[in-house]
Amino acid sequence: MSSSSGNFHPSSIHPSSSSITVGNGARLPVSHQAHTFIPTATAPLHLNNVLISPHLVKNLISVRRLTRDNNVSIEFDPSGFSIKDLPSRAEMLRCDSHGDLYPLRLPHQALTATATTSLWHQRLGHPGDHITSQVLANFPFQCNKSEDHSCSSCRLGKHVRLPFAASVSQTFFPFQLVHSDVWTSPVYSCSGYKYYVVFLDDYTHYLWAIPFRNKSDVLPTVRVFISYVHIQFLTPFACSSDRQWQGV
């Protein structure tokens, strides 16, 4: 059982609607189930069906489930405990304990091998690549800083506008519906153009881009385009809004 999903890879987490009954009889809601593993010097120890409940105070591992799922034995002593492979009796992991509990701590080699950029990016609160590199440089272990990763939470957090709603409009012939917009170029063209207007036919997706020097030329450009469509394609238009024209 774990209190946070930050310890797991996103692809191994699935929603859950169960609950956990703790020692005082209270029931703690479970938000997700996850699968992960504990790296060792010989083979990984798999943790199946990990329950994630945000109200837990400590992460807990069931000794019974751990031994059954991995075919291992656990030997406890006053200084800690050892996890051993059951057929060969070879020690897979040794953890020392200095208090009342038996914490499972990964060795330094395991931390180095499994601490990926993507995992630390989530644990540190989704900082940028530069900040992540600076923070990890202060720890006595390394991770693959050149690993390419894509964070969906960061992409959604950087969106400056909401996604477009699903459109139910349909067009059945060219120039039935034309979309337009005016754009400003960051630099002047060789011919001195600073602005341009685009017209997109909804039916054919054919696009016209017409440049002009002054923004006051927008209305004359729109009128010229309407005349062009009327003469060349015999399709008159009526203006219905600032950024789209509906065929009549």
- Class of the CATH domain delimited by 177-247: alpha beta
| Residue 112, φ and ψ in degrees, nearest 5 | -65, -35
Least confident of 18-22, 68-72, 123-127: 123-127
**pTM to 2 decimal places:** 0.42
The total of other beta-carbon atoms located within 10 Å of residue 79's CB is: 11
- The structure tokens 């009954």 sit at 21
In this predicted structure, what is the pLDDT of residue 67? Answer: 93
Residue 149 near residue 129, CB atoms below 8 Å = no
Each domain of the chain, given as residue ranges in start order, spans 5-109, 115-146, 177-247
- Rounded to whole angstroms, how far apart are CA atoms 143 and 137? 10
pLDDT tens across 127-146, in order?
A: 877 787 777 677 655 555 44
- The pLDDT mean for the chain works out to 80
- Class of the CATH domain delimited by 5-109: mainly beta
Contacts of 136 (CB under 8 A, 6+ apart): 120, 142, 143, 145
User: What DSSP character marks residue 133?
Assistant: H
* Six token digits for residue 74: 């656990």
Q: Residue 67: which H helix or E strand, with range?
A: helix 63-70
